[in-house]
Chain A
Amino acid sequence: MFSKKNLKLLTDPINKNNPITVQVLGICSALAVTVKLEPAVVMSLSVIFVMAMSNVVISLLRNTIPKRIRIIVQLVVVAALVIIVDQFLKAFVFDVSKQLSVFVGLIITNCIIMGRLEAFALSNSPKRAFLDGIGNGLGYGAILIIVAFFRELFGSGTIWDIQVVPEKFYQLGYANNGLMILPPMALIVVGVIIWVQRSRNRELIEE
Chain B
Amino acid sequence: MDRNSNKYTFIYAVIMVIVVATILTFVAVSLQPFQKKNVELEKKKNVLAAFNVESNPDNVESLYKEIIVEVFAINVEGEKLDNVDAFKINLKDELRKPPADQQWPIYVAKTQDGDLKYIFPLYGKGLWGPLWGYISFYEDLNHVFGVYFDHKSETPGLGAEISTAEFQKEFIDKSIFDENGNFVSIDLIKTDASDNNHAVDAVSGGTITSHGLRDMLKTCLSAYLKFIENNKK
Contacts and interface: CB of A to CB of B under 8 A. Distances in A.
B16 A87 contact: no
A94 B12 contact: no
Interface stretch (B2-10, B96-104, B108-116): B2-10
A84 B24 contact: yes
A162 interface: no
A66 B9 contact: yes
Interface string B16-55: 1100100110011001001100100110000000000000
A94 B57 contact: yes
Interface residues of B, number: 21
Interface string A69-85: 10011001100100110
B3 A90 contact: no
Contacts of B57: 94-95
Which secondary structure dominates where chain A touches chain B?
A: helix
A64 B16 CA distance: 12
A68 B38 contact: no
Given A76-B17, A80-B20, A80-B24, A87 B35 contact: yes
B193 to A, nearest CB: 25
Chain A interface extent, by class: 20 to 34
Contacts of B17: 76
A140 B115 CA distance: 54
Interface of B: 3-4, 8-9, 12-13, 16-17, 20, 23-24, 27-28, 31, 34-35, 38, 41-42, 57, 157
30 contacts: A64-B3, A65-B12, A66-B4, A66-B8, A66-B9, A66-B12, A67-B3, A68-B4, A68-B9, A69-B9, A69-B13, A72-B13, A73-B12, A73-B16, A76-B17, A76-B20, A83-B27, A84-B24, A87-B35, A90-B31, A90-B38, A91-B34, A91-B35, A92-B34, A94-B38, A94-B41, A94-B42, A94-B57, A95-B57, A182-B157
